[in-house]
A and B are shown apart, each in its own frame.
Chain A
Amino acid sequence: MDEVKAFVLEETRDKTGAKLGMWLFILSELLLFGGMFILYSAYRYKNPVDFHHASRELEVLLGTFNTIILLTSSLSMAASISALQRGQRRLSMVLLMATMALGLLFLVNKGLEWGTKIEHGIYPNSPILLARAKGEILFYGLYYVMTGLHGLHVLVGICILCGMLIFIAKDRINQMRFVPLENAGLYWHLVDIIWIFLYPLFYLIT
């Protein structure tokens, strides 16, 4: 029996191993953002009023809309994998493209938000920002870095999904072999989870 196991170990691709590796990478990403959440908590604890004031300047509706966009993109991502597992190749690709489109829309909105703030002279080290209360300077510092880092991850995610799309088109990822798509999905959902926390912590401070 052990010899059969040894033989199997030799010849099969290890899907669970690939998935485990991806999850471990996700853990490291969670702690990368976790470090920033520690700083956020510290500075919000020290400057509760300033954080509240600064938060009210953010466009809550746009932020909420962006949250829904990302949640929907997670839906299309998960569905894309299901479709591929059922052999519905075209549907899978359409759903994948929808995910990418939603991600792009998220980034456009983010860009607009940033653009508005920068137009008003509120960006790191700007004279207008530096004239404000310390807590507000910190709020915006954290805002730009955390949403910026998050946005970078969304961008990378879109590129990865583009790669997956090409692989599906070339039949390198298909009903029999879909682990790379699953792993890409895991990454995308991670990006969604980070935003799930960023949203209330920046837009909804009362």
Chain B
Amino acid sequence: MTSTGAAESIRPRISFYEDHGRYRGILSWILSLDHKRIGLLYFIFVIGFFFSGVVLGFFMRLEMIAPGGTIMKPRTYNSLFTLHGIIMIFLVVIPAIPTIFGNFFLPIQIGARDVAFPRINLLSWWLYISGATIVALSVFTGEGPPDTGWTFYAPYSLRTTVNVPLAVSGVFILGMSSILTGINLVTTTHRLRAPGMTWKRLPLFVWAIYATSWVQILATPVIGITMVLVFLERFFGVGVFDPTKGGDPILYQHMFWIYSHPATYIMILPAMGIVSDVVPVFARKKIFGYMAIALSGMAIAAVGSLVWGHHMFVSGQSDFANLLFSLLTFLVAVPSAIKVFNWVATLHKGSIVLEPPLLFCLSFIFLFSIGGLTGLIQGALAPNMHLHDTYWIPAHFHYIIFGGMGFGLFAAFHYWFPKMFGRMYNRKTAKIAWIIMFVGFNIFYFSMLLLGWEGMPRRYYDYLPQFRPLHLTATFGSWILIAGLIVMFANLFRGLFKGEKAEDNPWDAATLEWQIPSPPPTENFEKIPVIQHGPYDFKEFSRNG
């Protein structure tokens, strides 16, 4: 019925690694329009920046092993935690899952050949690299990196003589990269779904990336303009945040957190999407409450944009605003709790296959729950008075960002590794790495929760002797955690070159990426599929073969 004569072009059946297109060598990568190559470009650099962030963290903990100066001066310590924050937040956690796995797998999961705007995709990557370069320049030029904390609060950020303008310019460029990625993935999801791929048949990972992309588009511009204003204040003395000119520093905080709180949802939603995709596969059971998970992600994106004032309870905000933001903060916990409940309900009475991806997801659920519950404690006004700017806060957010998003990212590494690289890593070693990381993580960050509860201030270089034992424990935990990270990455790296060849569908999953070869050919599908079942319909899937 269709005349295909004019249009059936020959699609290469070789993998996307071998099909290098117009260019050769490194150019075939950095000028590639293939969403899979771009995803891998992000992969390399995100992991590289993650390592540098970990190294900074290692030295921070080393300094804090004892009170007073240990291996560095106070200003250096301030710069370390500033850089650690900037790198981890803007170069690792915010971009990681959308740019690596969103790019690589969203088009495949919806049955498309690429994203809606491949050239904009490449531009996003170049902006990411440019922004990172500018941030790097801020470290190695002039008077050195900012010491303001990654939050660049005015008026200190307007006065300190270190490289604030460079750093905020870098953040601005990175923001542009993020916005373009969001635009690309929203348009892709709306326009390029294969026939039969209704919204209700989308993998939950796609729903999660979709919700995330909206936040990227709508929230990022606000920090963009805020960074521009800090830059302009420093060079032209515009006066918008400077109290000596009538400016209000609390307004800076509003503008900063209007983005930076939703940014935490940009970080966590994609990881939740991964858990939602992985758990059914390793429980051999359809996800419990598909629509609840899909829509709760959208609810988190929406309500999560209304809570930013909870970072400012002690800044001088009005009591009325404090009450409002505290209430909204409690509300946003509800959709997250719905997800946790649904994941656990999926596991219940499932046929559990304890592979590495599932282990990382299980620890995600546990660690994210601790993060979420501590969030509620600090979201209540009275405790916040005591806990704000203590170690409790970084402990809370590391439970969420590292225990949650980080472990979710590692789950994605272990889940999609065979599809991306056509090889399998050593599963036993992966499990050993996991347990080391899990133990180290809790020793490290639980100690920090306790330290914060006892009153240890954050971003402090020195401390009273009574805090020594817990600091020692935390540093010790950090070493175990790092050891686990080394084992994990070494194992994956080894698997890349020496791993056994992987089958196309080693996990027996039902989503589209597992129905194509590992690694995929350039245009993903020989023929665009026509979808007839949901993403976790294992029974239907195995019946149809």
Q: Which residues of A contact B (CB under 8 A)?
A: 2-7, 9-11, 14, 16-17, 20-21, 24-25, 27-29, 31-36, 38-39, 42-43, 46-47, 124-125, 130, 133-135, 137-138, 141-142, 144-145, 149
Contact = CB atoms under 8 A, between A and B. Distances in A.
B255 A38 contact: yes
A39 B238 contact: no
Nearest to A148: B232
Interface of B: 1-2, 4, 7, 113, 116-117, 120, 179, 182-184, 186-187, 190-192, 194-196, 217-222, 224-226, 228-229, 232, 236-240, 245-248, 251, 254-255, 258, 527-530
A3 B224 contact: no
A138 B240 contact: yes
Nearest to A27: B217
Contact of A35 (B117, B226, B239, B528): B226
Nearest to B245: A137
A28 B179 contact: yes
Contacts, number: 128
A39 B251 CA distance: 8
Name A's interface SS: helix
B196 A35 contact: no
B281 to A, nearest CB: 26
Contacts of B217: 24, 27-28
A124 to B, nearest CB: 5
A17 B114 CA distance: 13
B94 to A, nearest CB: 16
Nearest to B176: A28
13 contacts: A2-B195, A7-B7, A11-B7, A24-B217, A32-B221, A35-B221, A35-B222, A35-B224, A39-B255, A43-B246, A137-B239, A141-B238, A142-B240
A166 to B, nearest CB: 19
B116 A124 contact: no
Nearest to B194: A6
Nearest to B188: A17
Given A3-B530, A31-B222, A33-B225, 18 more contacts: A7-B7, A9-B192, A9-B194, A14-B192, A21-B183, A24-B187, A24-B217, A27-B217, A28-B217, A28-B220, A35-B224, A35-B258, A124-B239, A125-B239, A138-B247, A141-B239, A141-B245, A144-B236
A10 B221 contact: no
Central interface residue in A6, A11, A135, by most chain B CB within 10 Å: A6
A109 B224 CA distance: 28
Q: Determine which residue in B191, B196, B258 has the highest number of CB atoms from chain A within 10 A of its CB, and name it.
A: B191
Contacts of A27: 217-218
A28 B183 contact: yes
A32 B246 contact: no
Contacts of B238: 124-125, 141, 144-145
A16 B224 CA distance: 28
